[in-house]
Amino acid sequence: MNKKSVKDVEVRGKRVLVRVDFNVPLDEQRQITDDTRIRASLPTIEYLIQQGARVILASHLGRPKGQVNPKYSLDSVAQRLSEKLGRKVSLVGDCVGAAAEEAVSKLQDGQVLLLENIRFHAEEEKNDPAFARDLAKLAELFVNDAFGTAHRAHASTEGVTHYIPAVAGLLMQKEVEFMGNALEKPERPFVAIIGGAKVSDKIGVIENLLEKVNALIIGGGMANTFLKAQGFNVGKSLLEEEKVDLAKQLIEKAKAKGVEMELPIDVVAAKAFAADAPHRTVSVSEIQEDEMALDIGPGSIKKFEALIATARTVIWNGPMGVFEMEAFAKGTEQVAQAVASCGGITIVGGGDSVAAVEKMGVAERMTHISTGGGASLEFLEGKVLPGVAALQDKA
């Protein structure tokens, strides 16, 4: 990554605006159910505290649609962050204007302030220049540590960089370096595992990866479209009929590039999309008209595990089946175990894959777990992320 990081600039005594991604899941009582994103931001915040910066944190939470909505307040986040840092983090009632400016003016070196939900202002997602300028006015330096929103050109990710110097936080740096190195100079064999429901969500990813990987494993609902392209009947399985020709082209492209494309050879099929539906394991050539494939079968698992075991670099994005239902979780769980046991560099991106490795208790054994869903996908597609592009280049 040829961008300056927070460690390349002087921060002592400076007001530093840090864009973090505190978009955490909350339950009905507005209690945080998973604080992964808060924990991921700690290295940057703690570094700034130790260096004597005056830390101003900005984040969104949920989709308040440009309106003030107490349901999406960051008060729970301020509380959890205070616990994690072992120091008081005050929440100010707005992110711009008199209240925010007054709270910032009282900050001492090493203190931390959290601004209220940035998306309470419609101008944030519109990347409104006046709003970006008001945000930038609070600080002398901008640090972007929110990889999860780096694919959006919003006021707090791209707009502010036009008014104050902008550098990467430690999480942003780690995300871009890990994923960038994997794509540009991977240790080989390089194996990518792509799952999830739809081919259409990941066409760009597959096309870009076919230029880079030695092998590509395809599972999940999207595999049905590729199986159909190979002439198999997939019954009532999730299928994007209009993408079958594209799947044929991608299979041909893989052959032409010498990339091993691995598809399921058997599936766990059921007649209903339900957790308690009776199910059976069948070859992909034996799916009945009234059945749907809801997971990969044991033969596919074995084949995928053997390939993953040979890899020196693995990128995994998307589950192998309906892993939320116990009966159809085995494929995803076994792939998670295989990736964790692989001796190479392992990178997991995308919400469902991350949830799967957390659920399996193997997250600690992965080299890197990406905090960005959409951002990870766009990065894997080879797209330029506005939030990264806007940061200062190293000399």
User: Which residues are marked as active site?
Assistant: 37, 198, 351, 374
Q: How far apart are the first and last CA of the chain?
A: 12
Tell me the CA distances in angstroms from 339 to 217, 321, 360, one per residue in order. 12, 16, 12
The DSSP H or E segment spanning 377 is: helix 374-380
218 in Cβ contact with 194 (< 8 Å): yes
Is residue 196 within 8 Å of residue 350, measured between CB atoms?
yes
CA-angle at 271, arms to 270 and 272, nearest 5° = 95
* Three-state DSSP class for residue 86: coil
Separation of alpha carbons 271 and 279, rounded Å: 7
By the 8 A CB rule, do 19 and 44 touch?
Answer: no
Q: Which residues pair with 91 in a beta bridge?
A: 114
d(CA 3, CA 316): 26
| DSSP per position, 88-122 | -EEEES-SSSHHHHHHHHTPPTT-EEEE--GGGST
Beta strand 215-218 pairing with 260-262:
parallel
Lateral strand order in the sheet of 345-349: 260-262, 215-218, 190-194, 313-317, 345-349, 368-369
Of the candidates 16, 55, 48, 41, the one whose C-alpha atom is nearest the C-alpha of residue 136 is 16
Of 248, 324, 322, the closest CA to residue 292 belongs to: 322
Calpha distance 66→126 (Å, rounded): 10
Q: What is the DSSP letter of 224?
A: H
d(CA 3, CA 143): 12
3: DSSP letter: B
Residues 6+ apart with CB under 8 A from 217: 191, 192, 193, 194, 262, 304, 307, 308
